[in-house]
Amino acid sequence: MLLLLGSLSAAIWLWLLFFQGRFWLSGPTLADAPRLPAPVRVAVVVPARDEAEHAEQALRSLLAQQLDGELCVILVDDNSGDGTGDLARRIAEEDPRLRVVAGEALPPGWSGKLWAVAQGLRRPEAREADYVLLTDADIVHSPAHLRALIGKAADQLDLVSEMVRLHCETAAERAMIPAFVFFFQMLYPFAWVGDRTRRTAAAAGGTLLISRRALDAVHGVDRIRGELIDDVAMAQQVKAAGYGIWLGHAEHAVSARIYAGFGDTWSMIARTAYVQLRYSPLLLAATCVGMLLVFAGPVIAAAAGSGMARWTGLAAWLMMAAAFQPTLRRYRCSSFRGLVLPGIAMFYLAATCGSAARFCRGKGGNWKNRDYPARSETNRA
């Protein structure tokens, strides 16, 4: 039995390493764009709810972009209670390129973030722009970032997105954040996302640049108004409409959000994990079996087996650790953390089950002190 477990786990890791879009590579990344082919008009839409801690640094980094063309930054204050809107208005007094929109009450069927984005997209500056950048209020951009994004989009692409470099300093972050990125890459291999012949589509909400024509073709965010995993939903809409998309790792953008403890990372996972599984008990069961086989199986076979069972378990474990190395290097973490990936994966699996339990109790998702129903009208449709 242990020989079968070890052999199956090893076979799965061989397949993942060679036939899953080389997901384990820590790339691609954007090249710098010294100049653009022509001046462009860009609108940046920043949905913000209780982001006073991060918003100033994020907004000032956007206003400092080195761009050939017109730039407008639109912050939509989603009924913040911590003074986010007042902070943004003070910056707007210094730089008129910043517009601050007071968010309207959340209507039924919308997620808070997408309702804020929709209000930003209504602005004439966004409707008249060649490109719209959707970014979060905790993302800090280098001065060359927007130019690099547009330079990539000029290569016959209509959606360019990046997984920004997440904060990775606390003990919980160093244990969990690289694995979060690794699992995302495994689920959505970046090479497959950029392949027009494949259906795989994904984006990362921290940095999502979209052309005006693609935005019009998918009717903005109206079709995905209730989605909690809005970035992936947007990419799926754009790719299904026949437009080219690209997803990579950011060298010019970092997240300032800190996950101080393991409870914070648990909440991050549990907020949308069951949504990712489309609220399906069958998919949850399949995920549990798959995670146990792929990540726990090698350890069980190596620790409890003997002879060939132990060797196949060790081989699978080492392949797993080797696949994790590029992501660990990106986040400047010890290579030995690759050996504890099975334990980290079990933490993620437990949080996923916790997410399912929360939804089964009818509590739905929670973000920024706002609860969402277990199934939105959009999800049911």
Calpha distance 77→64 (Å, rounded)? 21
CA 32 to chain centre: 22
267 CB-near residues (< 8 Å, 6+ apart): none
- How much is the average pLDDT of 347-375? 77
What integer pLDDT is reported at residue 380 of this predicted model?
Answer: 35
> b/e map of 276-310 (b: 16 or more CB within 10 Å)?
bbebeeeebeebeeebbbbbbbbbbbbeebeeebb
> Hey, what are 173's tokens?
């972050």
Distance CA 160, CA 150 (A): 8
State mean pLDDT over 223-234. Answer: 94
Q: Which amino acid type is present at position 66?
A: Q
In what side-by-side order are the strands of the sheet with 207-211?
98-102, 69-77, 40-48, 131-135, 207-211, 159-165, 245-255, 139-141
Whether 262 contacts 143, CB under 8 Å: no
Mean residue pLDDT of the chain comes to: 93
Closest CA to 208 of 221, 225, 222, 226: 221
Closest CA to 139 of 61, 210, 45, 199: 61
pLDDT level of residue 372 (50, 70, 90 thresholds): low
| Annotated domain spans of the chain | 2-22+264-380, 40-259
Residue 272 confidence (pLDDT) above 50? yes
Local confidence band at 136 (pLDDT 50, 70, 90 cut-offs)? very high
- Cis check: omega of the bond before 373, within 30 degrees of 0: no
pLDDT confidence of residue 371: 62
CATH architecture for residues 40-259: Alpha-Beta Complex (3.90)
Query: Containing H/E element for 71?
Result: strand 69-77
